[in-house]
Amino acid sequence: MKKDYLITGGLLLVVILLGVFLYVNYGPGNNRVSYNNQETPATSESDDNVTSTPSPDETPASTPTSTPTATADSDSETYNNSDVPQLQSDIHLSDVKEASNGTFNMYLFYGRGCPHCEELIEFLQSLSDQEKAKFNLYTFETWYDNENKALMENVEVELNVNIGGVPFFIIGDQTFSGYGTSMNDDIIAAIDAEYAKTDRYDLGMSLLQNQ
């Protein structure tokens, strides 16, 4: 009988201990349960990697067309029905010739490295051969050539105009300051109008005669 009590007591103790174990490990408030299918949140990118797009007000300004004071070798050239001038010869006002064969002289003042000047030259190059055959283009570099800079100042007096910068060009008695593609039609119209004239004004020849 005593042996039966011991067995029963031992079993009861085992049951109690098992119950305590289950309660401790799997009872309410347990934090040891894992979820193997839990999604990992996406890692957000660092703000340091974000590149902002500048507003128009923050974009670099275009190259100014004011005349620098530095001096260098002179640059000017003339062409008639040819490609864009290389702008590397040493032609000045004294080299201007009277137009012949029905053509007229057109004069362009530019700055070496001026993007608007280059665009204007490219536009003149793109004209048809028929248009380019109507005129002789004389180009005068004014940013680094003091002689041509002085010439442009004389042109201001001769034409009674204010030349604020380059490009500045003269077609007959018409002047154009700056360049944009919106001017293309006006330039072509001025070329055609000057070519159709029988009594033309030639700025270069006028300046030569007044020297």
Report CA 56 to chain centroid distance, whole Å: 12
Question: Is 110 contained in some domain?
Answer: yes
Answer yes or no: are the C-beta atoms of 98 and 104 closer than 8 Å: no
Residues 84, 87, 92, 95, CA torsion sign: negative
pLDDT beyond 50 at 76: no
pLDDT beyond 70 at 81: no
| pTM, rounded to two decimals | 0.60
User: How many domains are there within the chain?
Assistant: 1
Q: Which residue has the higher pLDDT, 61 or 17?
A: 17
Answer yes or no: are the C-beta atoms of 76 and 87 closer than 8 Å: yes
Question: Is 26 contained in some domain?
Answer: no
Question: Is 161 contained in some domain?
Answer: yes
Q: How far apart are CA 46 and CA 5, in angstroms?
A: 71
pLDDT beyond 60 at 79: no
Question: Is 115 contained in some domain?
Answer: yes
- Domain interval for residue 173: 78-209
Answer yes or no: are the C-beta atoms of 137 and 80 closer than 8 Å: yes
Question: Is 51 contained in some domain?
Answer: no
What average pLDDT does the segment 53-67 reach? 32
Question: Is 121 contained in some domain?
Answer: yes
Per-chain mean pLDDT for the chain: 72
Task: Name the one residue in this structure whose structure tokens are 């670099």.
Answer: 60
Question: Is 98 contained in some domain?
Answer: yes
Question: Is 187 contained in some domain?
Answer: yes
User: Domain with 92 in it: what CATH number?
Assistant: 3.40.30.10
